[in-house]
Each structure stands twice: as C-alpha cells, then as structure tokens.
Amino acid sequence: MNTDIKKPEPKGANAIIRYSLQLAMLSRLLSNKLITRSEYEKVRMKLMEKFNVISEMLIQPIPRCDVQYTMIDTHSEESDYENS
C-alpha cells in the first residue's frame, strides 16, 4: 500500500474541513473492515503531516438526559415579601 502524500495542504478553515472529511472516509474504511488498523494508522499519520495537524483531541459526546429542566425553580407564585 502506497501512503506517499507529497503536497502539503494550505492552512485555514478549508484545510481543516478537508482533513476532517478525509479522516471520516478513512474511518469508514476501517469500520467496514476494508483496511487494517495498522493501515489506518499509517494513512492517518500521513494525513496529519499533509494537513499540518499537530495532535488530535477526541471529543466525547455528552450523554443525553431525559430530564426536561435542569434548573431549580427558585420563583414561587408568591414572593417572600407577600408572605410577611
């Protein structure tokens, strides 16, 4: 498998989008078992070089809660001064 990627991509938002798309396609190949984990890692490292990506941060999704409201209701229908 040839993983040579010659031309570096320009920096900026467009480069980040292109990197993200290529990484997503690469991940899809891995999940469909069309490439091995070692092939995935080799190509991912080459993409990082090409797009000048220094590190990757994995962002975990926030778990969904079925709770509708997370704030405590501190307002009652009657205010404190009305009760005195």
Angle between helical axes of 13-31 and 37-50 (0-180°, round to 10): 170
> What do you get for the CA distance between the two ends of the chain, in Å?
81
pTM: 0.56
Give the per-residue pLDDT at 55.
80
In this predicted model, what pLDDT tens digit does every residue of 3-39 receive, in sequence order?
Answer: 665 666 566 778 888 999 999 999 999 999 999 999 9
Give the per-residue pLDDT at 9.
56
In this predicted model, what pLDDT tens digit does every residue of 64-84 receive, in sequence order?
Answer: 665 554 444 555 555 455 555
